[in-house]
Structure 1
Amino acid sequence: MNIRRIWLDRDQRGRQQWSDFLTRADLIPDDHLDYTIGIYDQEKLIGTGSIFQNILKCIAIDFSYQNENLLSKIVQVLRERLQEIGYQHYFLYTKPKNSQLFQSLGFAEIAATAELVFMEQGFPDFEDYLAELKKHQRMTKYNAAIVMNANPFTKGHLYLVTEAAKRAETVYLFVLSEERSLFDAKTRFELVKEGVSHLSNVVVLPTREYMVSSATFPSYFLKDQAKANIAQVQAVLDATLFKEKIASALSITTRFVGEEPFSEVTEIYNQAMKKTFGSQLKLVILPRKRIGEEVISATRVRALMEQELYTAIKPLVPPKTFEEIIKQKNK
C-alpha cells in the first residue's frame, strides 16, 4: 500500500478514478478542494481524503479494507499537511454512522442532523467561541439575532437592523468572518459597527467558523454554482447549530432575515431555518428596503462598483461605506 497526492486539476484519469470511488461510497465529489490524497493497493484506489482551507472533506475507505486502519492514516497525513501550512484548528463533516470513528481520532462533535455531523479538533474551539459570546451577553429577556455578510454594508442592511432593534430588547448582529468576499472581514465588521453605532441595543459580533462559513455552509459562497440539494443539507446543519448552540447560549428568541428575491441558495437557507427552528425559535422575514422600484442589495452595489457608477451607489449605502468604496477605487 502507498499514499500519494492526487492532482485533481492535472490528472484526468486520477480524477475520474477518485470521483467514481467517492460516488460508490455515497459521497458527492467536491470541486472546491486544495489538496487530495489517495491510498493505493498497487494501482487500485482504496482510500482518499481531501482538504479545503482547514476543513477535512471527501474522506472514504473501500469497504473491503475497513479493518486496515486506513482512516487514521488518511487523517494523520491531512493533519500533518494542515499543520505544515499553519493550521492548529480544523473541521470535518461526516455521516452520523462515522461519528464515533472520528471521535476516537480526537474530533469533537459540534452539531448533528439526520444527514451530517459537524466536528472539530484543535484550538481555539467552539467552547472558546461560546465563552467569547458570553462576554458580550446582555441580561435582557427578548433577544433577537441577525447574521449578515455585509459585502458591503448598505442601507438595506441598516433597515433590517433598525427594524429588529425596534422589536427586540437586544439584537445580536453577527458579521461573517469568512474571507471570501470583495471586502475583507475586518473592513466589513468595522463598517457594520460604525453603521449601527447609534442603535444602543445592538451588539456586533463575529461569526468565526460557526455560522455561514466554508465549514458550516460552503454553498453560500458559490451561489449560482451551488447544487440545491447540497445547499439544502448544509443549510439545515447551519440552522441546527445556530438554534441548538448559539441561540440557546445568548437566550435568542427570534432571528431576523431579509426576503430573498435574487439568490436561490439564500432562499433555500431561509426556508431551512424556518423548518429547523420550528416553534423553538421565531424566524421573521422582512421585505427588502427599496429606493423607488429598486431593491437595495450588496449585489447591486458591487455591480455598480464594477461599472464605476459611484453617483448611483451613494444613495444605497451609509456614508462610511461610501468612503470605503471610494478608498477601494483609488487603490
Structure 2
Amino acid sequence: MSENTDRLGRLSELGVSIWLDDLSRENLRDGGLKSLIDDKHVVGVTTNPTIFASALSKGNAYDEQLATLTEDGAGVDDAVLAITTDDVREACDLFSDVYRATNGEDGRVSIEVDPRLAHDTEKTLEAARLLWETVDRPNLFVKIPATQEGLPAITRAIGEGISVNVTLIFSLDRYRAVANAYLDGLERAHAAGIDLSTIRSVASFFVSRVDSEIDKRLDAIGTDAAAALKGKAGIANARLAYQAFEEIFATPRWEELASLGAHPQRPLWASTGVKDPSYSDTMYVDGLIVGRVVNTMPGKTLDAAANHAEVPGDTVHGTYAESRKILDDLERMGVPYVEVTDQLEREGVEKFEVSWDELLQTVRSALDDTTAGATA
C-alpha cells in the first residue's frame, strides 16, 4: 500500500467517510470514479447545480442523450431531470457494493432539488419526491437546503422514508434546527409504519465559505488582533457543530428512536476546498478529523489529502472551549456571527440559483444545436 493511500486509509480508520464533491458522465464512463473507490477510499459522491453545469459544458459525453431528448421533443426542465438523474442513478449503481458493505451508511450519491424552490416548502417536497422516485435507488440522498422553509420539507421527506442530505448549513442554531427536523421526521415515519433503519441522513455544514467572509471583514478591521483570527472561524464553527451533534444524539428522545432502528444524522463537512492560497490546502481535512462524519472533497482537495494531509488522530475533541473563544473573540472584534451566517445562507442559495440557470441554458443551447444539426 502506498504512502498516499495510507493517509486516506488512516482518515477512514478514524471514522471520516471520504466522499467526492464532483460527478460527471465522463468520470463515470472512463473508470475515473471507480479508481477513486478502489484506490483512494472514496465511499460516496455529492453533486450540486454548479457541478452539473460544469460537467455538461465540457466534452461530448452527453451528445447522444441530448440527441434522443431532442427527437422526443423534451423540454429543458425534463431534459435536465433526465440527464442529472441518469448520472446519479449510474453512480448509485457504481457505489452499490460500498452501500451493502457499510450497511447503508456510505455508498451514497446526492442530488439537489431545484434551488429556485429553496423558499417554497411544498414545491421543495414535490421536487424531492420526484427525484427519489426517478432515481429509484436506496442509496440516493436528496439534497434539501436548510432554509427556514426547507426545514418542514426535510421533516416531511424523512417522514415519507426519503433519505436526505441537508445542505447549506452555516450556523449552529440552524444546525440544531436541522437535527430537530430530522428527529421530527423520524417520529413521523415511525407513526406511518416505516422501518426507521431504512432512512439515512447527513447534515452538510459548510466550512471554507465561513472563513472567506469573516476573513474579508477582519481585513477591513485591519488590526493585528483581527489578523490573528483569520482562518480560524470555519473550523471552530464546525467543531462546535460536532459538539452539538454529540449532545443531540445522546438525548432520551434520540435513544428512543435509536431503539426503533434509527440511525444518527451524521455531520458532513462541505465546502472543504481552501479559497485562500496562503492556507494549507488540507486545513479543512486535517482540522476536522473525528468519528462518525463525512468529509466531501473536491478533486484537488482529495489529491492534496492523499499526498500530504496531516492525520495525527482526532483533531476535534478537546477543542470546544478554544473554538467557542474564537467565535466570542470575533464577536467582540465587531464581526457579528448571525449577520455573517445569514448572509452566507442567502448567498449560497443565490449561487446555486445562478448555477441552475447556467445548467438550464447549457441544456437549452445543446438541444437547440442538436435540432439545428438534425435539420441542416
Say whether the fold is shared (TM-score over 0.5).
no
Q: Taking structure 2 as the reference length, what is the TM-score of the superposition?
A: 0.26
Q: Which has the higher contact order (CA 8 A, sep 6+)?
A: 2
Q: Taking structure 1 as the reference length, what is the TM-score of the superposition?
A: 0.28
